[in-house]
Structure 1
Amino acid sequence: MVDPTGVSAAATKLTAANFRLRATSYSSLIDDLDAALPNVSVPTVVADGNRAATPCAPAAANRVAAFCWNSGDNTVPYWIPQGITTSADAYDAGNYEGAVAILVSWYDDGSDGIDRGIRVSFVDWSTPSAPTYRHVLLVEPYTRSDGKVSYRPVNLHAGGIVWYGHLLYVASTHAGFRVFDLRHLWQVSSTDSAAIGLQSDGSYQAYGYKYVLPQAFSYARSTAGGYADLRFSFVGLDRTSAPDSIVVGEYAYPGTGTRLVRFPIDYTDRMLREDADGYVRGTEAYDVSVTSMQGATAINGKFYLSTSDGDTNRGDLATFRPGGAVTMHTDSLPIGPEDLSYWASRDQLWSATEYAGSRSVFAVRASAY
């Protein structure tokens, strides 16, 4: 545990290869829905923002950029923001087919009587002084009992996301990853805010959202060596490692589980890198004994962790290098910080906050830590 001075003992090294993932096959139903629905590009969705972000100044040390959602999204009680990634994760050049964007995941807690699953905000960041955005609903294709192909909501916490090439990885807390293919963004009828999927009139609905993004496949977690299952609470991309990798971590407060695991990712096909037996195995793993972790990434071998402290206290940023102590930069983040994403060319470490009434998206100068 971190002591009152902000410094703890070194993280405990774990046997990384004992943490495993295995991919399912790619969904054959996507082709059917491609034939039924118009396909649109990521730049089209990014440029089709229907909401304007607002300027704000969240209380973060070394803050270099920020915006807030419009008033409705800032206060809506049932949609809660969690994960963050950017077009600099997608490609090192910082844009995806010319679009410069920030993506933020939200989960629906169902408190208004409808559980819509997950939406992702596509934020146009090409003009940081005036960002616009549009929410896209994540969906899972399936075959109905009548044999017709439809889609349904994806009910996850979505605590962390990574955009890597054409794939969007979404952390699935008790399973591993759901993976969505950005080459198959579909425009739907979007007229019925209470309906989802194929309707009796032949239209496809998405709770009033104009675009949906389908799940293409998933990764299922497992462990060896007697290790408990890893909770996939959040995820961050590390483009400074060789090969590129993702860092997965656990939220725990109170309770067991404060582990971080690195998995390799392959830039040639955007998939996690498998061994000959079909498993993706961890290449680095630690128990950092830091509670309330909400996000993590690594930069040139140094790990960065965001931690929360309830809805009234500012969050902290923790850092450590393998073999060294974990240092807590107390109260350096706003209240309620979540996932982390690193924009290397801009020296920016991005995060988002979750609590209604004080939601923001912000970046701090990574090199300050």
Structure 2
Amino acid sequence: MKHRGRHRRRRRGRALRAFLAGTALALTAAATMISASQATVSGSPGALKQLTSSADIRPLRLTEEPVPQASLDRLAEEMGRPVGVTTVLESTDRSLRDAIDCTDAERRALPVAPVATSAYCWDADDTRGWQAGAITTSGDADDDGRWGANRVILSGWTHSGGPAADKGLARVAFVDADDPGHLTYTWVLLVVPVDGGRDYRPLTSHVSGMVWYQGKLLVTADDGDGNALYVYDMARIQRATATDEAVGRVRGGWSAHGYRYAMPAVGSYRVAGGEDAPHPGSVSLDRSTAPDSLVASEWTLDDGDRRARLWRYSFSPGSPGDDRAGLLATDAAGHADADEVYGTKADEVRGVLSYRSTWYVSRTTDGARDGHGTLWRQDGDGAKAAKCGADETHRCWSGQTESLSYWESTGEVWTQSGQTLFALPLASIEKALE
């Protein structure tokens, strides 16, 4: 029976790869039907320009602000002993659909080129009123690509519809990815301790960037928040004891908007201040630097004339189990300064990725008839974009990928667009570039 099950998975895997290839061909054909005036990207973002002046670097300074240990201890005492990732994965209660079971509209979110090699779709009923955003994986968390024995994907979502009181709620899907043919998940609500750990409030922010590194999860915060990043501890996840739609302490226990788990922030990074201080719009991990680094892009308005900046911070050299593991490198005053800062002519920047001195940025195309975006590779020499087959169309990337995550142990880039989660080899992105 085990052999037959394995053969069925292999046959389904081959069928799925063939299906994805066919989907890509159909998307390519659709792209070639778009007129050149609609499909060709006007203007390359050009080469990256390194910015080295104090005026360029100083506004990017972050100040680390840990939540007092006493507050976290009080919350754990009230809610019960925290749990870790393994416990959360053992209680996954929802499933993603394989690409072959996705709708035509969901598959149109896939890139025309390069071709996705893995694709899944979320349950529309489970995500109605929520907007997909950041993504990170156990490939970020540990260099062997696993967290303990598990392959894990974390998918961030922000509440964008429904009651006004729910707007801005942030949650993360913990996805058990051990079996590529059957991904399961459960939700964890992101919260922030208040009143000395006697209660917590929801994190109300658009989750456009997220990196899981060692034992910490760093999550971007909106411009309306004085913090650029919130820090979560992957070993400090609290069980909710009530199923109310409320968030925090309720009569009879603790509620997490109806979810089983709440994850309280253990710290944050506050921006330096001033009108020129950008919040990271998207973040990702770069394992090709020494030490490993957090790279960030500036979120720019679709109709604005301000070009984006790209920059990086070093992670602390702390080893797993160390108090500094997973945190940014700081000086004695708790300041984290950017190691590198670049200016790019790209606007409408969303996702960012850096690997071996090369930067990749995804750009949105809100309002475009084909619904696709562009993916550019940039360095100090210039910029290149993936193109759709033999024609000159460059709008062949997925349209709303706010986050890019490189799973180094497998060579795959993971991202999501709307209801669709997908992956493809970084090598295929390189091949698709002009």
Scaled by the length of structure 2, the TM-score of the pair is: 0.77
Alpha carbons 2:363, 2:399 under 8 Å: kept: no
The unaligned stretches of length 5 or more in structure 1 are: none
Identify the residue that residue 373 of structure 2 maps to in structure 1: 315
Question: Residue 115 of structure 1: which of 153, 158, 166 is its match?
Answer: 166
Shift of residue 148, structure 1, vs aligned partner:
7.4
Q: Which aligned segments of 4 or more residues in structure 1 are displaced greater than 3 angstroms?
A: 3-8
Question: Residue 102 of structure 1: which of 144, 153, 161 is its match?
Answer: 153
Map 1:147-226 to 2 at 5 A. 149-174=198-223, 175-192=227-244, 194-201=245-252, 203-222=253-272
The unaligned stretches of length 5 or more in structure 2 are: 1-39, 100-106, 319-324, 387-393
Could you tell me which amino acid in structure 2 is paired with residue 234 of structure 1?
S
Map 1:37-116 to 2 at 5 A. 37-38=79-80, 39-56=82-99, 57=107, 58-60=109-111, 61-74=114-127, 76=128, 78-115=129-166
Question: Residue 263 of structure 1: which of 313, 328, 340 is its match?
Answer: 313
Question: Which one has the bigger helix percentage?
Answer: 2
Alpha carbons 2:142, 2:214 under 8 Å: kept: yes
Question: Residue 25 of structure 1: which of 66, 82, 86 is its match?
Answer: 66
Alpha carbons 2:243, 2:255 under 8 Å: kept: yes
Identify the residue that residue 191 of structure 2 maps to in structure 1: 139
Shift of residue 73, structure 1, vs aligned partner:
3.2
Alpha carbons 2:314, 2:339 under 8 Å: kept: yes
Matches of 2:296 and 2:235, distance apart in 1: 25
Identify the residue that residue 34 of structure 1 maps to in structure 2: 76
Matches of 1:316 and 1:172, distance apart in 2: 25
Q: Quick check: which has more Rg, 1 or 2?
A: 2
Which range is displaced more, 62-71 or 6-15? 6-15
Q: Deviations over 1:301-327 (max 9, x none)?
A: 111111111265212111112x21122
Shift of residue 343, structure 1, vs aligned partner:
0.4
Q: Deviations over 1:55-85 (max 9, x none)?
A: 11553223121211123135x1x21110000
CA RMSD of superposed structures (Å)? 2.0
Alpha carbons 1:251, 1:257 under 8 Å: kept: no
Shift of residue 17, structure 1, vs aligned partner:
3.7
Matches of 1:238 and 1:232, distance apart in 2: 15
Identify the residue that residue 285 of structure 1 maps to in structure 2: 341
Matches of 2:41 and 2:349, distance apart in 1: 17
Q: Deviations over 1:82-127 (max 9, x none)?
A: 0000001011111112221100111112533332610000011100
Identify the residue that residue 243 of structure 1 maps to in structure 2: 291
Matches of 1:281 and 1:62, distance apart in 2: 37
Could you tell me which amino acid in structure 2 is paired with residue 91 of structure 1?
D
Alpha carbons 1:42, 1:99 under 8 Å: kept: no
Alpha carbons 1:6, 1:328 under 8 Å: kept: no
Could you tell me which amino acid in structure 2 is paired with residue 259 of structure 1?
R
Matches of 1:190 and 1:141, distance apart in 2: 18
Identity of aligned residues (%): 29
Alpha carbons 2:316, 2:330 under 8 Å: kept: no
Shift of residue 152, structure 1, vs aligned partner:
1.0
Question: Which one has the bigger strand percentage?
Answer: 1
Name the SS of the counterpart of 1:310 in structure 2. coil
Q: Is structure 2 residue 404 aligned with structure 1 residue 347?
A: no
Could you tell me which amino acid in structure 2 is paired with residue 245 of structure 1?
S
Which range is displaced more, 268-277 or 160-169? 268-277
Could you tell me which amino acid in structure 1 is paired with residue 276 of structure 2?
A
Name the SS of the counterpart of 2:117 in structure 1. strand
Name the SS of the counterpart of 2:72 in structure 1. helix
Q: Quick one: structure 1 residues 303 and 72, their matched pair in 2 at CA, closer, same or farther if it must change by over 3 Å?
A: same
Alpha carbons 2:237, 2:263 under 8 Å: kept: yes
Matches of 1:118 and 1:236, distance apart in 2: 18
Name the SS of the counterpart of 2:269 in structure 1. strand
Q: How many residues align?
A: 353
Could you tell me which amino acid in structure 1 is paired with residue 209 of structure 2?
G
Which range is displaced more, 183-192 or 118-127? 183-192
Could you tell me which amino acid in structure 2 is paired with residue 345 of structure 1?
S
Scaled by the length of structure 1, the TM-score of the pair is: 0.90
Q: Quick one: structure 1 residues 367 and 17, their matched pair in 2 at CA, closer, same or farther if it must change by over 3 Å?
A: same
Q: Quick one: structure 1 residues 20 and 238, their matched pair in 2 at CA, closer, same or farther if it must change by over 3 Å?
A: same
Matches of 1:257 and 1:23, distance apart in 2: 27
Matches of 2:333 and 2:163, distance apart in 1: 45
Alpha carbons 1:306, 1:318 under 8 Å: kept: yes
Q: Deviations over 1:118-139 (max 9, x none)?
A: 0000011100111001111001
